Amino acid sequence: MKRLLIIRALVILLTIFAACGSDDEVVAEINEVSYTATDYHFEGSQFLPSGMTELTLVNQGMELHHQQLLTLPEGMTVDDLMAGLMSGEEGPPPPGIDAARGVGALNPGLSGNVTLNLTPGNYVVLCLVPNAEGAPHVALGMVKPITVIESGAPPVAEPEADLTIGMVDFGFAPSTAISSGVQNIRVTNQGEQDHEAFPIMLNPGATVEDFWAPLSQEHLPVRRQGKDLAASRR
């Protein structure tokens, strides 16, 4: 009987140690992070773990919004970046500032997401869409600092893409026709300049020329001749 009790106690201890060990294991998975855009503010976490991340943006504002993610060089603050953006001087951004992708423009009430591999460092998310008066939303306070911290998690492969769209100077090269429904689209920049891509669904009766015409004006209106031509995302 004593021998049986010892064996049972040993089994219980091994089970406890195994459970404790499993709690310490780092599971390889894609991080899921969500941000909310309002007029004119981003709500969401300031600190994120490094690694493959699915970044979701929900537009709860009354205007068009997007989320551009920029890397900041060592020693540069958000105030430094804003001072440069608001200076009105033309030219390339300061060294070390790179576009790290983000969620494209969304109509009010819509959401979109992008999957990217975040490396440790300092970032900033901002919205450059102008309002009806032509002022970019970033100038109205739509900017948020983000710090990515080393997670120590094993690397995760990016999701398999249903198709690839290559961006060049100046055009798009999809690998195949874009079909309807939920799908993963891999976007690569093969040009010499910064580019972004997001799908736009035209309203019934609207043409590409209808959408393109306002872009040549001082700022992008959301309505033209009674038709809503703002970008929408599915």
> Angle CA(204)–CA(166)–CA(104) in degrees, nearest 5?
50
pLDDT at 90: 65
The residues spanned by each domain of the chain are 27-158
CA distance 146 to 68: 12
Query: Domain 27-158 belongs to what topology?
Result: Immunoglobulin-like (2.60.40)
**Over the range 120-140, which residues count as b (16 or more CB within 10 Å of their CB) and which as e?**
ebbbbbbbebbbeeeebbbbe
pLDDT at 101: 83
CA dihedral over 85, 90, 94, 95, signed as positive or negative: positive
For the chain, state the CA radius of gyration: 23
Q: What is the pTM of this model?
A: 0.72
**Tokens of residue 46, six digits:** 């300031």
The string of pLDDT tens digits covering residues 114-128 is 999 999 999 999 999
pLDDT at 124: 95
pLDDT at 26: 58
Ordered mean pLDDT values, 10 residues apiece, the chain (234 residues): 45 44 64 96 96 96 94 89 75 73 91 94 94 92 95 89 91 88 87 81 87 62 37 36
**Tokens of residue 49, six digits:** 């773990």
CA distance 97 to 108: 29
CA dihedral over 82, 111, 206, 228, signed as positive or negative: negative
pLDDT at 221: 41
pLDDT at 25: 59
pLDDT at 234: 34
CB atoms within 10 A of CB 99: 14
pLDDT at 28: 73
Beta-strand runs (E) in 85-179: 98-106, 111-118, 121-126, 143-149, 163-168, 171-174
pLDDT at 106: 92
Taking each continuous run of H as one helix and of E as one strand, the counts in the chain are 3, 14
- How many Å separate Cα 220 from the centre of its chain? 22
CB 103 within 8 A of CB 62: no
CA distance 106 to 159: 23
pLDDT at 213: 77
